[in-house]
Structure formats: structure tokens, C-alpha cells
Amino acid sequence: MENFKPNIIVFCCNWCSYAGADLAGVSRFQIDPNFRVIRTMCSGRIEPEFILSAFENGADGVMITGCHPGDCHYINGNYKTMRRFYFMKVLLREFGVETNRMKLSFISAGEGIEFQRLVNDFIKEIKKLGSAQYRIKE
């Protein structure tokens, strides 16, 4: 279990959380390397299919990150993400994936340290949960 290297996908929106992730880098805040970032323009772009596909393809956890409520570059895309998130949780449960393998967080462009904390915490959490059982049939 100690050596378990989880596969984690972090979706970042271009304007806030991706910039926050960059700031974590510029500030040299150290983060567990077991995650990969996929950038979209807005967290509102994240389709339920992306989440299912991620687990299908071996992800052990998926994090969706966007701007803080009220700060969305596209007026209110993050609110739509919030609503979709709860729906996606139900969907995950239906497919037999633990719902706490998916997380929604808000990180501003100025919160490099928040990016570090939230991602590290999530990876820790996933490490505790172990490998996800839901996989595509080979």
C-alpha cells in the first residue's frame, strides 16, 4: 500500500485553478507527483463522460477545479459545474465507484498554496482508498 502510486486526473479551468497550479509552481510549493492536469477553458466544460472515461481508463481519483463562486471568467460556469457535480456523484455511485474518488474544489489564480493543499490532501485520501476497481474490460 505504501508504494501505491495512484492515477489522478485534475481538471483545471484556464483562468483560475490552472493559474493557481502555475503559481504553486512559481512559489515552489511541493506536491505529490501522482496527478496529471487537463486544462479546459471553464470547469463548465467538464462532461460526465470525462469522469466515467477517466475511471474506465484506470484513474483512481478525479478532481475538478474551477474559480471561486462569483469569480467565474464565464459569469457562472462554475455554478453549473457545482450542479453537475452532484449529478455526476449519483452517476458514479450507479457505476460502482466510491463517490469520494471525485472532488470539486475552487482555487483562485492567487492561491498556489491552496492548490498544493487540496491536491496533496486528495492524493492522500485516494492513497488511503487504494486502487479503484472500476476498469475498462481489456
Partner 1 sequence: MKKKMKKQKKKRVVRKNRKSGVPKGKQAPDMVSLTIDGISVTTKKSNSILEAAQEINIEIPTLCYHKALSSYGACRLCVVEIQKNGWKKIQTSCVYPVEEGIEVKTDTPVLQNIRKTMIQLMLARAPESSVVQEMARKLGVEDTPFVKRDDDCIRCGLCIRMCRERMGKNVIGFKGRGDQREIAPPFDVESPDCMACGACYAICPTASQRLKKMSNKVKKPLLDEFDAGLRSRSVIRIPFPQAVPNAAIIDREHCVHFVTDKCRICEDLCEAKAIDFDQKEELVEIPVGSIILSSGAEVIDGKQKREYGNGRYENIVTSIEFERILSASGPYHGHVVRPGDKKEPKRIAFIQCVGSRDDEHPYCSSVCCMYATKEALIAKEHSPGLECTIFFMDIRAFGKGFDEYYEKAQKSGVRYIRCRPSSIEEKQSTKNLIIRYADEQGQMRVDEYDMVVLACGLQPPKGMVEIAQTLGIEMNAAGFCKTRAFAPTDSSKEGVFACGPCTEPKDIPETVTQSSSAAARSMELLAEQRHTLITKKEYPAELDVSGQEPRVGVFICRCGINIGAYVDVPKVVEHTKGLKYVVHVEENLYTCSQDSQKLIIEMIKEHKLNRVVVASCTPRTHESLFRETIREAGLNPYLFEMANIRDQCSWIHMTEPEGATEKAKDLVKMAVAKAALLSPLKRVEIDVIQKALVIGGGVAGMVTSLSLARQGFEVFLVEKEKQLGGNARHIFYTIEGNDVQAYLLELIKKVCDHKLIRVMTNAEITAVRGFVGNYETEISLASGRNKIYKHGVIIVATGGVEYRPDEYSYGKDTRIMTQRELEEKIVGAEPQIVGLRSIAMIQCVGSRDNGHGYCSRRCCSQAVKNALSLLELHPKTKIYILYRDVRTYGFKEDYYTAARSAGVIFVRYDREKKPILANDNGSLDVSVFDPVLQRKLEIHPDLVVLSTGIVPNKDNEKIAKMLKVPLNSDGFFLEAHVKLRPVDFATEGVFVAGLAHSPKFISETIDQAGAAAARAATILAENKYYAEATVSHVNDDLCVGCGVCSNMCPYEAIEIVEEDGQRRSKVNEALCKGCGTCVAACPSGAMDQYGFTKDQILTMIRSIRE
Residues that bind partner 1 (CB under 8 A): 5, 7, 9, 14, 18-19, 21-34, 36-42, 44-50, 53-54, 57-59, 73-77, 80, 84, 109-114, 116, 136
Nearest distance, CB of residue 48 and partner 1, angstroms? 8
Orientation of helix 77-94 relative to helix 48-56, angle to 10°: 40
- Left, alpha or beta for 28 (phi > 0: left; psi -120 to 50: alpha)? left
In the complex with partner 1, the residue whose CB is nearer, 100 or 120, is 120
Shortest distance, CB of residue 50 to partner 1, whole angstroms?
6
Give residues with Cβ within 8 angstroms of 81, minimum separation 6: 42, 43, 44, 46, 64, 66, 104
Instruction: Report the C-alpha gap between 54 and 85 in whole angstroms.
Output: 15
> C-beta of 116: minimal distance to partner 1 in Å?
7
Query: Which CB, 39 or 128, lies closer to partner 1?
Result: 39
Residue 18 or 134: the one with the smaller Cβ distance to partner 1 is: 18
Min dist. Cβ of residue 93 to partner 1 (A): 20
DSSP for 111-135, written as a single string? -HHHHHHHHHHHHHHHHHH-S----
* CB of 57 or CB of 99, closer to partner 1: 57
